Structure 1
Amino acid sequence: MRKLSYLLLLMMAITACNDEPKKVEIADNTIEKPAPKIVKEYGYVLNDFEVVRDTVRSGDSFGIILGSHGVNPGKIFQIVEKVKDTFNPRKVVIGKPYVILKENDSAQTPKVFIYENDLINYTVVNLGDSISAYTAKKPVTITKKTVSGVISSSLSEAIEEEGLNYLLAHEMNNIYQWSIDFFRLQKGDRFKLVYNERYINDSIYAGIENIEASVFYHQEKPYYAFNFLTDSISGTREYYDEKARPLQSFFLKAPLNFSRISSRFSPRRYHPVQKRWKAHKGTDYAAPHGTPIWSTANGVVIASSYTAGNGNYVKVKHNGTYTTQYLHMSKRAVKTGQRVKQGDIIGYVGSTGLATGPHVCYRFWVNGRQVDPFRQNLPAAEPIEEKYIPSYFAAIEPLKAELGEIEFQQINTEI
């Protein structure tokens, strides 16, 4: 019996030694937090700062804004004196956004002030010990787009119907203002565009960059326009047609954006103020009071004055052959002797002098004789230099093909 008991104890000991210890698994409920997303803007890692975003409000000034964030008057004066050549604190504009970057600690001391001049350009003012200021631009990407449209009533409505930015209509008017009268478009006129848009950080729309190429069918005649770099040093670009002819004329078709021509050049017209028949040696463009009036060509202002009949008027000599005059202005914007370029604002629509309502009377002289500008064969602008013509045709070939691939909508010419 004693031997049997001993044998049983021995077997139990051997079994116990051979048993593997059981592993007890403990659930790990720890959740790893994702690393915070690094936010970079204006050349700074915003995660490193306490960020304050706001806009300039009525009554705000640079000093008031900084003072409300704990910057003392002495420091503000020092900052203003240091940065005034780069950033004029007295010209902050109501409604403009700004950002203040503060130390990310309990003191939250302002370190950087960022003022947004516009959608793309901004000014950075370092508020620390090394006070300084500089201007910079947000990253901008350019996206190419193509579109077509058909005129049913006006260019602006055609642009709106396509869901496009109204600025495209403005750009097209600038391109074709010497060759197409947009107040006389016909139903069924149509256009194709290859153009570029600007986007900030690939997402925020920042306007039209340019129109690379376009064709406008007016009265079934195609008017091509291609944007071409004519001077790589100055960056000058102009528009030319498919035969390398300039679209720009020596003279604009009109001295303003007008609503209608209220009276044309005529040898005999009943004067609405003087109540008698007399020659009307000008073209009257009706437009709202204050509409900008621009010079129709480059030249020198030879008169900027006032008379009882003309009211406020400006006269511009363009060369030895051509002179123009602009009457009944509410306000003149140039002085005698001043040089002006085509499109420069020289005054604003009014009804001064012998006028019954707001308009500009546009007068045109050729060799000292007043004539109807609509009956003149006016000179064109400077052509492309001969040396650039081969590269111009090479540049427009793919653009012309791209225009050809754009399809028009179905044209409905029913009245």
Structure 2
Amino acid sequence: MQAEIITIGDEILIGQIVDTNSAWIAQQLNSIGIHVKQISSVADDPSDILIALTLASGRADLILVTGGLGPTKDDVTKQTLSTYFDCGLRRAPEVLAHVEAIFRRGNRPILEINRRQADVLEKSEVLFNEMGTAPGMWITHKERPYVIMPGVPFEMKHIMRERVLPRLRSLDGRVPVWHHTLLTGGIGESFLAEKIADIEAALPAHIHLAYLPKPGLVRLRLTAIGENQERLKQETQTFADQLKERIGEYFLADEDTTLEKLIRDFMQEHELLLSTAESCTGGNIARLITSLPGSSSMFEGGAVTYSNAVKHSVLGVKEETLDQYGAVSEETVREMAVGAKTVFRTHYAIAVSGIAGPEGGTPEKPVGLVWIAVAGKDHVTARKYLFGQDRAINIERSSMAALGMLWQLLNSEKDRK
């Protein structure tokens, strides 16, 4: 079974908001064996919506639509769907009662425009929305199901979980799919591909390998399609084991996760504490760690020590070190890491100092030069990196490299007392 997702809204096309709905819906459909053929975004324009629906009906067995179900004039989805399906609208009593109750609870007057939220397609089944006023709709047209949902993400997710997915699981035509993801770091996509080329070439036709790169990391996703999911799991695990052995030191995890999550879980399990001292990354490493729930059990704190004076006064970096070697140097980041570990009283500390760009470089220390140090139980490791000219990418790559160095050190020291 193949599906198409259509998101409706000018705000998506002008970049005012990011369409996260499609990605989430695609994940849910994939997990139950429904392949997403295409994702389309269209403006709040009736002719564009009609064209999108017509094209989707020619290439997909299931069509899901989000957005444009609000009460204002720019929300034209219901009226356009009425034209497409050649049916009128009816006012659903159960939805109207729900909308009126919401306004009563808020002690707000209800207008006719609000009551119109209860208007649904005559041929549709109501997908009740406890989280908001706009209901979803399920309509079968020319033997093809259409699922219509509001664009507000938490409302859409509620309707999908409670109303749509249980029903989709009963449809015929779904094919079992299994994904197995490996996380690698410290090796570029092209080098990785060359390293595992023979393993990839030996994959059977029903197993596909995808490369999912981001700065500093590459995910390898094995996707298997067949009739028996347990057999697919066993097959992909066999190939995953081969890949892990070949990847060697660049292998990070046998799961679809993030480096910061791996570190959080490891340090929680072993009751270890972490601190950070950041210059060119501006606190981004601390942000990545503290964005995770439960990080307070392993992260003590961090310092953004941008100037030399603060590196000295907060972290205790020697003035003679800064004068002789400069802020972007192995000597400085080593002292920054030791200083953070001492000040915050942690088992481990990360330190980063570099030239993020686009200005500030010299022939000796060009833009993209970054030194990273990690202080561990009994020693400090430091490494030099030379990235590119883009400031944002340099910050991201530096952050991933620092976390990668910490992960390596954690694993090398895990058996030491």
TM over 0.5: no
Please report the TM-score for the alignment, with normalisation by the length of structure 2.
Answer: 0.30
Higher strand share: 1
The alignment's TM-score, normalised by the length of structure 1, stands at: 0.30
Structure of higher CA gyration radius: 1
User: Could you say which structure has the higher helix fraction?
Assistant: 2
